[in-house]
Amino acid sequence: MATAATAAFFDLDKTVIARSSTFAFSRPLYQGGLINRRAVLRSAYAHVVFLLAGADHDQMERMRDYLSSMVAGWEVQQVREIVAETLVDLIEPAVYREAIVLIDAHHAAGRDVVIVSASGAELVEPIAGMLGADDVIATQMVVEDGRYTGEVSFYAYGEHKAAAIREVAAARGYRLEDSYAYSDSVTDIPMLSEVGHPVAVNPDRALRREAAVRGWPVLDFTQPAPLRRRLPGQDAPPAALVAVAVGATAVSAALAWSAVRSRRTGVRKPPSRGPRHP
C-alpha cells in the first residue's frame, strides 16, 4: 500500500476526547489493585484542573514524575487487560463527534491520521485503534521482565512531540507543509508549528491568544457522542469541519478570519497501518 503524502496529527485529551485519557482509567486501575484511593482522588483533582484551565509546562513535568513513580512495578499485561476490558465504556462515549468527522474527512482525502499524546502508549494505542487512526506517538515507559521500572524512555510532550512528528514524517514521506495538526494546549505549540495547517481545538487561554497572534483557525468541539450511535449516513459532516480537513486554502483563511471576528464580538462560532513510533 502506498504511503500517504500528508498526515493529520491529533492531540488526544480535550481535542479528540472530552476528558483526560489517563484519569479515565483511574477507577478500573484502583479496582484492579494498582492504585489506592488517595491516588484516585489526586487524579480526580488533577482532572478537574486540567479541564478548567489546561496544563502548563510545570504541571506536565509534575504529571510525568507522578505517573513514573505510580506505575513502577506494575505488570504491563495487567494494565493492557484492564484497558481492553474498559475501553468502550470509559472512552467511547467521550469522543467528540466533530473530531470523528475530521478524522473521517482526512482519511477520505487520502491522509494518514496520527494520534499524538503524552499519555502512555498502553492507553493511547487501543484508543487510537478504536478511532481508526493509522499511527501513534505516545509516552513510552521502560519495561523489564514484564513490569514498568518507573523510568520514561520517551515523553511525548512539548518539543519531543514535534521531534517525533519530524521523524515519522521523514520515515513515511509526509509533506509537513501540507499536513495538519490539532491541539487544545499551549504546550503543543511546537507540534502545531511543524505543519502548514495548525488548528487550535478547544484551546486553553494561552493557546487561544497565540492562535490569534499567528492567525491560526480555532475550533470549539462541544458534542461528545458514542461512536456506536454514528451509523452510516446518520449525520452530515459540518461544512466548516470538512473544509478544514480537505485542505481548501480559501476556507482555512475564512476560518482564521472567523476566529478573529469571534474574539472581537465575544461570540464563538462552532465550527495501511505501519510501524509505530518510537
Buried b (16+ CB within 10 A) or exposed e, 44-76: eebbeebeeebbeeeeeeebeeebbebbeebee
Kindly state the helix (H) or strand (E) to which residue 141 belongs, with its residue range.
strand 135-144
Is 184 among the residues known to form the active site?
no
Whole-number Å distance between alpha carbons of 182 and 219: 9
The whole-angstrom separation of Cα 30 and Cα 41 is 11
Q: Which of 13, 135, 184, 188 is the catalytic position?
A: 13
Q: Provide the residue type at 30 as one letter.
A: Y
Residue 11 falls in the annotated catalytic set: yes
For residue 134, what are the CA distances in angstroms to 36, 217, 244, 276?
35, 24, 19, 9
> According to DSSP H, which parts of the chain are helical?
21-24, 26-31, 37-53, 57-71, 76-90, 97-108, 121-131, 159-172, 189-193, 205-214, 239-246, 249-265
Say how far apart CA 25 and CA 130 lie, in whole Å: 16
Give the C-alpha separation, 199 to 196, whole Å: 10
11, 112, 134, 184: the catalytic one is 11
User: Distance between CA 176 and CA 65 in Å, rounded?
Assistant: 32
- Active-site residue list: 11, 13
